[in-house]
Amino acid sequence: MKKKYSSVIAAGLCLAMLTGCQETPKDSIVKQKGANAIKSYESAEENTGSSLRELLGAPEHYKNNASYEGGGLVIDTDADVILPEADTINTYAVSAREVNQEMIDTVTNAFFEGATFYSAYSYDEWTKEDYQEQINRLKKYKSEGNLDPYQFGEDEDGNPQFNIDEEIARNEERMKEAPDEITKEEVKPSFGLEYWSGKGEERIKEVDEDSFYGVAETEQGIYDYDIKYGLKPDIVFSISKGAQKDTIDPREFSDWIETAYLLGSEENGENRLTEEEVKGMLDISLEDAQKIAEEKVEKLGWGLEVYNWDYAVFHHGEDGVNRDNILDAGYLFHFTRKLDDVPVTYTDDYGGGLEDMDSTLIPWSYERCDIIVGGDGVQNVELFNPYEIGDVQTENVKLMDFDSIIKIYEQMMEVSNADITKYESNRTFHIKRIVLGLCRIYDPAADNDAGLLVPVWDFIGGFDAVNDDYTTKNNGEYSNQSFMTINAIDGTVIDRGLGY
How far is the first Cα of the chain from the last one, in angstroms, to the nearest whole number?
22
Q: Are 467 and 495 in contact (CB under 8 A)?
A: no
How far CA 298 is from CA of 287, 302, 378, 385, 386, in Å, comes to 16, 8, 14, 17, 14
Q: Please state the pTM of the whole predicted model.
A: 0.88
The pLDDT value given to residue 266: 62
| pLDDT on residue 267 | 59
Classify residue 176 by burial, with Cβ atoms within 10 Å: 0-12, 13-18, 19+.
exposed
Residues of the chain with pLDDT under 70: 1-40, 48, 243-247, 264-272
Measured in whole angstroms, how far is the alpha carbon of residue 176 from the centre of its chain?
A: 42
Contact 72, 422 (CB under 8 A): no
The per-residue pLDDT for 499 is 93
Q: What backbone phi and psi angles, to 5 degrees, belong to 472?
A: -130, 140
Q: Of 126, 255, 236, which is closest to residue 226 (Cα–Cα)?
A: 236
Residues 6+ apart with CB under 8 A from 38: 91, 393, 394, 452
